[in-house]
Each structure stands twice: as structure tokens, then as C-alpha cells.
Structure 1
Amino acid sequence: MSKLEDKPINQYADEKQRTFIFFHWLIGTFSNWLIPFFLLIGSFAFAQDKDLIQFSGIVVEADSLIPVPFTRIIIKNSNRGTFADFYGYFSFVAKKKDTILFSATGYRKARYVIPDSLSGSKYSLIQVLSFDTILIKETVIYPWPSVEEFKKVFLTNAIPDDDLERAKKNLAQEEMKEKFETIAMDGSMNYKAHMQQQYSRLYWAGQYPPNNLLNPFAWAQFIKAWRDGKLKVQTPNEKKTKEQEDK
């Protein structure tokens, strides 16, 4: 009876021993692989940290060396980078052998490759940008909020006169006459008119001034105009027609 009872205990002890041996083998096997693995990762991370540098500098114009504000600075083939401040200064973390791209509106793009022979963890640069001519598409801003409003205003509003039409209206004879009648003369014109009257008074001083009522040539011209019908009262349309014929 004791032998039968000892058999399950021995089997239990054997299973426990086998489990212990398996775990001991598993730990030894993984330790042989894990230690080199972690050492490799650590050396790789150390090598990466060794390649990192603090990249700083100033972006200036090629002609005047004036800082170029808000220049876009990025690392090629990546989304990492920064913008220069108002004074053209920039600073960010980069790696050796990285290609840095510089771009700003109105300037040609430039690039710079960080050397791989740097011994320190900091590197400074003065980047020069040259001017470039950029043609921007024309943008027309209208006061109307939509195309429909523009069509409505365009079809209903009166088209203003152009320069030629305004010049024609300003030189119209009827309007010129009205302006001459209503616009007062300035100081120089009044002075000339007064001096002309004085000159005429001095010219005919001591004698009678001429009177066309006693002039036979004036009477001949009057009779001829009367016969030709030039003395009749003309309407404005007839006056315009007559003026056009005279031209």
C-alpha cells in the first residue's frame, strides 16, 4: 500500500524537476541572446545620439546682408524643420549628412548639407539667399458678394462715360457758351478788359467814336444778310445744323 502511495509522489517530483530544468534552460538560452540584443540596441542609440547636433544660424540677403525673416527651413525627405524669426535666426536639432532646404518668397531656394566630420554637438551657419522674380497670378477683388449680384448691377446700372465721351461733352459749343455766361472772370481778365476800355477811350480822345449807323458798308452787310434770310430767329436745332454746315 505504501509503494502505491509513493508512486504518485515520485511522479509529481519528477514533473516538478523537469519543469525547473526547462525554465532554467529557457532562461539560459534567452540570456545568451538578450544580452547581445540589448547591447546592440544601446550602441545603436548611442550612435544615433552621437550624430545629433544643434543646428543654428541666420538667413541673410546676398546683396545687403539684411536678415530674411520667416524663412522656411526643412530637412529634405522629412517633415521636420522650422521657420526663421523676424531677424532671420533659426535653431533646431538635425543629424550629420542631413540636407537642409531654405526657401522664402522672393528669393531663390538654397540647400546645405551638414558635414559628417563634425566633432562637437553644435553647428552654426550663415545662409545667403539671392533675389528671385516670381510672377503671381492677378487677383481682382470686386465689391459684389456673388456672381448673381454682379450680373444684376451690370445689367441695371448705367455705364459711366469714358474719357473721350467726357471730352466731347466738355467741348460742346452750347455748354461752352453757358459756362462763359455764368462763370465770372478772374482778376487778370477783368484787368485786361479795363485796360482795353482805357485804350479805346484814349484812342478816340478829342473826336467822336465811330458809329456803325452812319457806316454805309455796315448797312450793305445788313441788307445782304436780310435778303439771305440770316436775320430770322433760329431754333436750337437750326443753330446746330448751321454750325455743322459752317464747319
Structure 2
Amino acid sequence: MHQKRSYILSLIIVFLLSPFLLKAQIAEFRDSVIQISGLTMTADSLRAIPAVSIMVRSQGRGTISNRSGIFSIVVFKGDTLSFSAVGFKRKDYRVPLNIKGNNFSLIQLMVEDTTYLPVTIIKPYLSKEEFDRAFANMDIPDDAYEVARKNTNNARLRAMARYTPIDGREGVNQYLNKQAQSLYYAGQPPPQNIFNPLAWAQFIQAWKRGDFKRKDDNYGY
């Protein structure tokens, strides 16, 4: 009885204190969220850098500075911002945990990164005849039209249709069609196609195409 009374008293205390605890958690969450508005500029000439990617590390979210280098992002205190742009070194900035307020201005200076490409040496052909021979034997890659023409070739499509296995949707449709066909003649013998002229015409066409011969070759009979 004493244990039950203590349990009820604990529930009453938790019920009375829950609004204050919830309010404290909301206030703590609101205090940890800050809005950062800033500008990305070059470190040497203080020139605005557009299209800078500002990502919050380990969270997979971020923003991009506009053509004037201005950006705005919502983060938590203690988050790390990663600034990256083509032609500049990546810069990380960690938001202080003891920052005051919920709005913060930031000017991020970025240093240009010099990329050295390998040396390319251009040598002329020794003679015009050598150039003509190399030009005539040059392997020119297919353009988009030629690639599309090869992909839609009838022989290629027939070969792919023969050896490509059916997917899940086709398998389900094939099973349902067979099941519906078996139920169509339920309670009666199915018709014999030996007297069906259409079935004979299809058989003769398949024989002329060599469908049965190809099947025998595939299975090694």
C-alpha cells in the first residue's frame, strides 16, 4: 500500500513539473539555434566570391552563396561549416558554443588555390603524307546519333530480347496469364489446336524462321 502511494505521488509530481521541463527544453533548443548571415570574399583583394558551397559537416545540408557572395544558413552552436569553391582552398569554421544571441554575421576570407596541370607537348608531323595517313586511319568515336542507331538495331534488339531475363513485373504477368488461361477452361477439356488453321500458320512461320533449330542449338541437342 505504501509502495502504491509513493508511485501515485511520483506520477503527480511528474505531471506537475512536465510543463516546466518542456518549457526549459524548448528554451534551451531555441537558444542553441542561430542564424548566420555572411559574405565570402577573397583574402588578398576582398573580392566577393559567388557560388561558394557552405556545408554543415556531418549533417549533409548546406547552402550556396549568391553572385554577390552573400549567404544565410541556420545552424546549431558547435556546428562546423565547410566553405569550398572551385579555385580556392577549403576553409572550415566552427561555431562557438558560448556565442550570445541567435543572429550572427560572418565574413569568410578564402585563399586562392593554384592547380598545376601536367605539361602538354605538341609536336608537328614530319610530312604531309604522314599526316594524311594518320588522319585516314584515325578512329573517330561514334556521335549520339550513331550510338542511338546501333542501340535500336533490329538484330540487336532481338538478341537482347532472347537472352535478357524477365523482370519481376513480367514474371508476375506471365504467371497471372497462365493462371487465367487454366481457369478459362476449368471443368472442360481445352481445345485441340491440331485443327486450328491459325495455329498451323504460326507453326509454319516459326519453322521457316528456324526458331526450333535455334532452340536445339542452344540446348546442345
Structure number with the bigger relative contact order (C-alpha 8 A, sep ≥ 6) is 2
- TM-score scaled by length of structure 1: 0.43
- TM-score scaled by length of structure 2: 0.47
Larger CA Rg, structure 1 vs 2 = 1
